Chains A and B, each alone.
Chain A
Amino acid sequence: MTTLLLIIHGLLAVALLGVVTHQAIGVLLPAAKAPASFLDRMRSVSASSYVTAVVVLYIGTAILGAVIYPEYRLGVRVVLEQLALSKANGAFELKEHFAAIGLGMLPAYAFFWRQPLDEKYARARAVTTATLAFIVWWSFFVGHILNNIRGFGS
């Protein structure tokens, strides 16, 4: 059951990664001209259309992460400590705290992106989105690396 939840957690994380990365690129590096290349098309996405997806996917991924966390605490962290893999252990500690802080950012993130967009929140919109993107990328990398060190059920 935990393995299934971990896979769903990973799939939601992949979707969230794609959505928040598109939005971050769209708000931080908006395309100035008509899109011609693949990169231009990524930059010219309508960033505001991703807000609901980011919020829903973030909460869903966080809930599943919280559900399988005890399994990590009992079956994975102990092994990391026995193997003296302190960097991997520390990276997960950071992931735990970053993810929690990201949850607290969601109400303001959604407010900054509410329609019609308010120009006075342009910087807050960009920084909040970039911060969430960083949290998601960090969490994804750390989760992936730890799963490679010791996957569930091993």
Chain B
Amino acid sequence: MTPSSTRGTFAMVFMVVYAVAYAIAVENNYALFTYHPATGEFGPLVQAAREGPAMYWYGWMTSAAIAASIAAGIASSLPHGVQRFWSGWSWAFPIAAMVLFGYLLRGFFMR
């Protein structure tokens, strides 16, 4: 496999897995860490709010990025990885994830 196709496989698989993993992380609150903005403290995994709200967004993105990096690394090490991968998945999944979030958050717009 050429370096270019390896990079392509990594980038496209990363995009797909990141979108899926991010949606799963948000929906199930799989944050790798929690940030407490009132105190400026970080804590591992999901922690309850204390002295103000807890922020999980950074942790969700980190969880998704790690999952996507591992999956993309494995996929790009496979022979002929990019030939088997339809490039359309790499934009279909992020768009589907965006539509999903629109659906999940519809309650904000229907009150």
Q: Are B52 and A98 in contact (CB under 8 A)?
A: no
Number of interface residues of A (CB under 8 A): 38
Interface residues of B in 37-71 (CB under 8 A from A): 37-38, 40, 52-53, 55, 57-58, 60-61, 64-65, 68
Stretch at the interface among A4-12, A23-31, A103-111: A103-111
Contact flags A106-124 to B (C-beta < 8 A → 1, else 0) = 0110111010000011011
Residues of chain A within 8 A of B53, CB atoms compared: 73-74, 77
Tell me the minimal C-beta distance from A5 to chain B in angstroms. Answer: 15
Given A89-B108, A98-B101, A101-B19, is A127 in contact with B91 using a C-beta cutoff of 8 Å? yes
Number of interface residues of B (CB under 8 A): 41
Q: Kindly name the residue among B7, B22, B61, B68 whose own CB sees the greatest number of chain A CB atoms within 10 A.
A: B61
Q: Are B57 and A100 in contact (CB under 8 A)?
A: yes
Cross-interface CB contact of A70 among B26, B35, B68, B90, cutoff 8 Å: B35
In the complex, the 3 A-B pairs of residues with the closest C-beta atoms, listed nearest first: A90-B108, A104-B18, A70-B37
